[in-house]
């Protein structure tokens, strides 16, 4: 089906003006008057709708009537002319073909629906301006991430989705099994013996452990794929299925990886500012006033950095009544992170050197014996978007970290081998794609960054 995309009509206006064009799309708004009718068409390629003008004397009334239904899919041939608004174009229709009539029960009749309502119709909400813009940004963001790593000499590797070990050690793995419910098995081993893999298996929570395998052979790698967590947290920033970008770099210490993370964030934000200007303007107007200025600031200014121990002091001196009390050794809760990002720094901040007991087994122990060379990048409005660390590369210390956590040693034999055979300092991080999307759009709920959100008690 030959057609010109609507985006191209505005971008290459001079080329198409006063010529006959054929376009396709769905009717977003329509108006009918005595002699003329108007429909605004969108084909998903751009924010801006294209106005189609129908001279009613040229079309049979019954044909035009159905074409004007909101949601109808049309193919239009006509002349491209200057529009009323600056830059805009219009098409004066000569021919119209109703590709798909839209039933009057189409739920998107109103101009604005609540986000809650739209979540109940995930298959249709993607046709709204908000979700069109979200998914164009999601696509551009993913492209920019690949571009950043490619330009900087990283190899893109594909780590497995089905795995036998729990990277974060948090027991949040979704099981993968082909064996049905069996109430009379004697033990867990007995149960899994008959299962597909002959042992317990699950969906990966992170590609890091396999990423380390690749980094200690290839130098600089990244993975970019779906990760899964059966977390029981029903918050606006937790999803059960989310995408993570995880670089892993050999011969890199904590400061080196922080530099890479900073460069990456600035690179992708700059990319969006140039490639998604219309979409960001839309989110700035509708969801977060000052969004573009915020992003420009991210692209052009230094990120803050604070030691965990100093952050605890800042929180203690804040005079705020937190629900979760603040003491050295506590995990930072959303309310603490929010205070640091929204009230103290007002920009991205790396909190570094967390207590070892609240972090994962693989993080490098600092010389103080109490903290690990780890950092979270926190941003205003969202909180943690990156979890990052230098990895423990000492065999004995790693063994101990696995032991004290009562983790199953046999699951980590290969991982330990990396520390036996030419171990090197290495570091990496994980950026949550959906959290980043929340930050760059001002959308307050992670459910609105995914097509079909997967969250606790919800498989829409
Ligand atoms: O801090 P996390 O748990 O770190 C890791 O998984 C490391 N293995 C990454 C690495 O070093 N390669 O998760 C990393 C990021 C978080 O900062 C957050 O952005 C995102 O993944 N994330 C989630 N996003 C949405 N829903 C959830 N339930 C998430 N859990 C983590
Ligand atoms: Mg984390």
Domain limits, the chain: 6-106, 125-170+205-449
Phi-psi region of 353 (alpha: psi -120 to 50; beta: other; left: phi over 0): left
Residue keyed to tokens 């708004």: 29
User: Which ligand 1 atom sits nearest the alpha carbon of residue 446?
Assistant: 25
Query: What pLDDT, on the 0 to 100 scale, is given for residue 166?
Result: 81
- The single residue listed with the structure tokens 């590369």 is 393
Give the pLDDT of residue 63: 80
State the closest ligand 1 atom to the C-alpha of 429, by its place in the atom list counted from 1. 11
DSSP string, 29-61: EEEE-SSEEEEEEE-SS-SS-EEEEEEGGGS-H
Write down the pLDDT at residue 429: 98
Rounded distance from Cα 432 to ligand 1 centre (Å): 6
Candidate of 430, 433, 440, 455 to mutate for ligand 1, largest count of ligand atoms within 8 Å of Cβ: 430
Please give the Cα distance from 45 to 134 (Å, whole number): 12
d(CA 215, CA 344): 36
- Ligand 1 pocket, 432 CB below 6 A? yes
Helix, strand, coil content of the chain in percent (nearest 5): 35, 25, 40
| Atom 23 of ligand 1, nearest CA residue | 432
Rounded Cα distance between 73 and 193, Å, is 54
What dotted CATH number matches 6-106? 2.40.50.140
Do 437 and 137 form a contact (C-beta atoms < 8 A)? yes
| Closest residue CA from atom 9 of ligand 1 | 430
Q: Atom 7 of ligand 1 has which residue's CA nearest to it?
A: 430
Note the CATH number of domain 125-170+205-449.
Answer: 3.30.930.10
Specify whether the CB–CB gap between 393 and 419 falls below 8 A. yes
pLDDT at 190: 81
Which residue in this structure is represented by tokens 């027991």?
171
Distances in Å between the alpha carbon of 239 and those of 212, 233, 364, 455? 25, 9, 28, 5
Ligand 1 centroid–CA 386 distance in Å is 7
- The SS3 of residue 401 is helix
- If we measure between CA atoms, which residue out of 90, 92, 37, 42 comes closest to residue 68? 37
Q: Which residues of 231-262 are buried (b: 16+ CB within 10 A; e: fewer)?
A: beeeeebbbbbbbbbbbbbbebebeebbebbb
Angle, vertex CA 353, rays to CA 349 and CA 357, nearest 5: 125
Q: Residues with Cβ < 8 Å from 365, sequence gap 6 or more? A: 356, 371, 372, 373, 392, 394, 397, 401
- Give me the pLDDT at residue 339, please: 96
> Quick check: helix, strand or coil at residue 163?
strand
In 276-368, alpha helices (H): 277-286, 291-300, 308-316, 334-338
Q: Which of 127, 23, 40 is nearest to 75 (CA)?
A: 23
Question: Which residues fall inside 5 Å of ion ligand 2, going by CB?
Answer: 387
Q: Which residues contact 270 (CB under 8 A, 6 or more apart)?
A: 299
Which of 432, 446, 450 to mutate for ligand 1's pocket (most ligand atoms within 8 Å of CB)? 432
Atom nearest to 247 CA in ligand 1: 12
Instruction: Say how far apart CA 35 and CA 431 lie, in whole Å.
Output: 55
Alpha-carbon distance of 78 to 18, in angstroms, equals: 9
Q: Is the minimum distance from the CB of 229 to ligand 1 under 6 angstroms?
A: yes
Ligand 1 atom showing the smallest separation from residue 246 Cα: 12
Beta strand 220-228 with 454-455 is unpaired
- Determine which residue's CA is closest to atom 11 belonging to ligand 1: 429
The rounded average pLDDT for each run of 10 residues, N- to C-terminus, in the chain (460 residues) is: 93 94 97 94 95 93 87 97 84 96 92 93 96 98 98 98 85 88 77 87 96 98 97 91 98 98 98 98 98 97 97 96 96 95 96 97 97 98 97 97 93 96 98 98 98 90
The pLDDT of residue 185 is 80
Distance (angstroms) between ligand 2 centre and the Cα of 385 equals 8
pTM of the complete model: 0.96
Residue 60 has a pLDDT of 85
């Amino acid at each position: 089906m030959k057609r010109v995309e609507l985006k191209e009509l505005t971008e290459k206006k001079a080329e198409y003006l006063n010529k006959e064009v054929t376009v396709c799309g769905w009717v977003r708004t329509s108006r009918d008057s005595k002699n003329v009718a108007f429909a605004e068409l969108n084909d998903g390629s751009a924010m801006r709708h294209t106005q189609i003008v129908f001279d009613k004397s040229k079309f049979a009334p019954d044909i035009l009537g159905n074409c004007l239904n909101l949601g109808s899919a049309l193919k239009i041939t006509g002349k491209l002319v200057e529009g009323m608004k600056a830059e805009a174009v219009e098409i004066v229709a000569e021919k119209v073909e109703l590709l798909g009539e839209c039933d009057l029960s189409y739920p998107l009749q109103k101009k604005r629906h609540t986000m809650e309502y739209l979540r109940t119709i995930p298959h249709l909400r993607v046709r709204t301006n908000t979700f069109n813009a979200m998914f164009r940004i999601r696509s551009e963001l993913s492209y920019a991430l690949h571009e950043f790593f490619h330009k900087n000499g990283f190899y893109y590797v594909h780590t497995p989705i089905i795995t036998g070990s729990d990277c974060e050690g948090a027991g949040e793995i979704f099981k993968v099994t082909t064996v049905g419910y069996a109430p009379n098995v004697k033990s867990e081993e007995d149960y899994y013996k008959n299962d597909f893999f002959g042992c317990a298996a699950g969906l990966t929570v992170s590609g890091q452990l396999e990423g380390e395998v690749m980094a200690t052979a290839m130098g600089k790698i990244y993975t970019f794929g779906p990760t899964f967590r059966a977390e029981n947290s029903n918050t606006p920033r937790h999803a059960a299925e989310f995408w993570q970008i995880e670089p892993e770099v050999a011969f890199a210490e904590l400061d080196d990886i922080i530099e890479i993370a900073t460069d990456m964030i600035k690179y992708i934000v700059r990319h969006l500012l140039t490639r998604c200007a219309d979409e960001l303007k839309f989110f700035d107007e509708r969801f977060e006033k000052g969004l573009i200025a915020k992003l420009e600031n991210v692209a052009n200014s230094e990120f803050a950095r604070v030691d965990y121990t100093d952050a605890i002091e800042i929180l203690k001196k804040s005079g705020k009544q937190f629900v979760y009390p603040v003491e050295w050794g506590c995990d930072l809760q959303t309310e603490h992170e929010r205070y640091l990002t929204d009230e103290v720094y007002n920009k991205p901040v790396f909190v570094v050197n967390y207590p070892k007991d609240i972090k994962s087994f693989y993080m490098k122990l600092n010389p103080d014996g109490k903290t690990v060379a780890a950092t979270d990048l926190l941003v205003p409005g969202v909180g943690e978007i990156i979890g990052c660390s230098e990895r423990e590369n000492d065999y004995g210390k790693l063994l101990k970290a696995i032991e004290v956590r009562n983790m199953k040693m046999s699951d980590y034999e290969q991982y330990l081998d990396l520390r036996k055979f030419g171990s090197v300092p290495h570091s990496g991080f994980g950026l949550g794609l959906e959290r980043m999307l929340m930050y760059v759009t001002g959308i307050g709920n992670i459910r609105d960054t995914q097509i079909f959100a997967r969250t606790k008690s919800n498989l829409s």
